[in-house]
Amino acid sequence: MTIEKPSRNEDEYFAQQNAELLRKQREKLEASALEAERKSHYMKCPKDGYDLDTGEFHGVQIETCPHCGGMWLDAGELEVISQEERPALMTRVLSDALSAFRGSGKKREPGK
């Protein structure tokens, strides 16, 4: 008894179907992994990985790290602060930020 081999066209068709299915599955896995990674980094300090706190600073929402004292601004927030019409606001903001950092009790090592 001989088993007939499917035609070459049939082999090619199923090979293409399998390749396409594998490609789609890989894309889904990659997208899922990227989303999981994004969620694991959301609102985390880029320096030490601790959860960030959100607060208002001169009318702008900023994120601060309670561990290292780092402060982060979202896109456009520095421009909002720098374009305020109040006199010397940038000087005040930077002075307050420096005071807050110094007052956090964290000593920084040289070069860090």
In a domain, 67, yes or no: yes
Q: Does 62 share its domain with 99?
A: yes
The answer to whether 68 and 45 are in contact (CB under 8 A) is: yes
Report the amino acid identity of residue 111: G
Fill in the DSSP letter of residue 86.
S
Give the integer Cα–Cα distance in Å for 86 and 106: 31
The sheet with strand 71-72 has its strands ordered as 53-57, 60-64, 71-72
pLDDT by position in tens, the chain (length 112): 556 666 778 888 999 999 999 999 999 999 988 888 878 778 888 888 889 999 887 778 889 899 888 888 888 887 777 776 565 666 777 777 777 766 655 544 444 4
Q: Does 36 share its domain with 68?
A: no
In a domain, 2, yes or no: no
Q: Does 59 share its domain with 96?
A: yes
pLDDT of residue 38: 77
In a domain, 109, yes or no: no
Phi, psi values for residue 41, rounded to 5° = -100, -10
Helix (H) or strand (E) holding 5: none
pLDDT of residue 4: 64
Provide the domain limits for residue 97. 53-103
pTM, full prediction: 0.47
